[in-house]
Amino acid sequence: MINEKNLRQQFQEIIEKHKGILFKVAHIYCRDDEDRQDLIQEIKIQIWRSLHKYNDKYKMTTWLYRISLNVAISFYRKNAGKKANTIPLDEQISRISEVDNSYKEHQLQLLDQFINELNDFDKALMLLYLEEKSHAEIADILGISVSNVSTKAGRIKNKLKKRFSNES
Amino acid sequence: MNENTLKDLWKSYNEKLELSLSYGRKNAEDITQMKVQNFISSMKPVKIFTILVGLLWVGILGTAVTNLFIHAFSEANHFFLFSAAIQVTLTAIALVIYIYQLVLIYQVDISEPILETQEKLIKLKSSSLLVARILLLQLPVWTTFYWNDSMLANGNIFLLITQGKVTLTFTFVAVWLFFNIKIENKDKKWFRFLFGASEWQPVISSMNLINQMGEFKNG
């Protein structure tokens, strides 16, 4: 009973402290607000389901990214073709950037568009790269070698540079 | 654009989007009250319904057929009896495989690295095709259960030939589908047609992820 209570408290603290991870993953994988809410909910359920198995040899953020990205990729596939891309990009961006100047707005739009065009695994890599995770941690989360992470991150950066230089 | 500018852009992007998204439907406390830590309660209602219908069908038909075999074999219509026995056996096998797959999917540790976990999930989801292959094998017996001795002895020859052709066609189609429904054929038109329904989308989408995964793994 005490364990159960501790687990509940631990879960609530984790969610409160790391909700940003859930939000960012949902944002990258779902274009639709409704889907995002559902995905965040599903990630929370899976975290709760897995909490008793948490192994502290992993960093909490590594563990949370693994769960969140695994759920997101499965969830995204499940919903692909149903509601994907139901909100046009510019509509979504304009909703959040009313007060921004047009240059920044344009940059944000380009970044959003770029991420949206990536495949499921590159999206995960891009997110971890933007979140300034080390190559070793990215490798640990994704399950690929550190050198593979470096190669892929380099490629994505080049693509990104090209995109921004073409459009600016 | 340099790396730092990009990361600053990302930060401001997230701050603004965070404001636009109300946080979750249920709060963390509600989730801890949900019974998600056992297999049955984690299942979607439609899956529970499918399993219940399957169990009912196999239970009722299985009992009836077994009783006929034991107590009324000589009087019973053998065409019906063997057709029903094949049907119920194949349904039972498919049901067991379906439940076993659901248990395995439930047991996948979602906190393992992404590629490893997704690979396991794809393999398990794709193996749902085996359930479809087994269920389709019963096609021919739906064309034989109403046969009887008198029909064969006194029936119109034209109707009997037509009946034979229908059964042979169903048998050919069932066997052909059994051997050809596989991941390698996922892009064929007939496959897309057969598995175009929305309930198959998660399986088809999982299969599409295989190519992405291969590219990602190999750099």
Q: pLDDT tens-digit profile of A72-92? A: 998 776 665 554 444 444 444
- Asked whether the beta carbons of B216 and A121 are under 8 A apart, the reply is yes
**Domain coordinates of chain A in residue numbers?**
1-86
Between A89 and B202, residue with greater pLDDT: B202
> Would the pLDDT of B93 be above 90?
yes
pLDDT tier, A63 (very low <50, low <70, confident <90, very high otherwise)? very high
- Asked whether the beta carbons of A30 and A41 are under 8 A apart, the reply is no
**Domain coordinates of chain B in residue numbers?**
43-107, 114-141+148-219
List CB contacts (< 8 A) between A121 and chain B.
Answer: 114-115, 212-213, 216
Vertex A167 angle, CA A164 and A168, to 5°: 80
Torsion of CA A97, A156, B204, B45, to 10 degrees: -50
Nearest to B115 among A7, A144, A160 (CB): A144
| C-alpha–C-alpha distance, residues A39 and A73, integer Å | 10
Q: Please give the pLDDT value at position A101.
A: 62
pLDDT digits (tens, 9 = 90+) for A7-27: 889 999 999 899 889 988 998
List CB contacts (< 8 A) between A48 and chain B.
Answer: 31-32, 34, 36-37
pLDDT digits (tens, 9 = 90+) for B122-143: 888 888 899 999 999 999 999 9
Torsion of CA B11, B14, B18, B19, to 10 degrees: 70
Residue with tokens 């006929």: B68
Between B203 and B150, residue with greater pLDDT: B150
Give the ranges where chain A is alpha helix by DSSP (H). Answer: 2-29, 33-50, 60-79, 89-96, 102-117, 120-130, 135-142, 146-167
pLDDT digits (tens, 9 = 90+) for B54-81: 999 999 999 999 999 999 999 999 999 9
| C-alpha–C-alpha distance, residues A43 and A36, integer Å | 10
> How far lies A108's CA from each of A90, B17, B18, in Å?
10, 11, 14
- Asked whether the beta carbons of B88 and B61 are under 8 A apart, the reply is yes
Q: Which residues contact B178 (CB under 8 A, 6 or more apart)?
A: B133, B134, B136, B137
| C-alpha–C-alpha distance, residues B56 and B46, integer Å | 15
Which DSSP letter does residue B74 get?
A: T
Give the mean model confidence (pLDDT) for residues B98-122: 91
The pair of structure tokens assigned to A110 is 């380009």
Give me the interface pTM, i.e. the ipTM. 0.82
Nearest to A50 among B18, B110, B216 (CB): B110
- For the A1-86 domain, the top CATH level (class) is mainly alpha
The nearest CA of chain B is from the CA of A74 a distance in Å of 8
Contact B14 A23 (CB under 8 A): yes
Contact B111 A53 (CB under 8 A): yes
Angle between helices A102-117 and A146-167 (to 10 degrees): 140
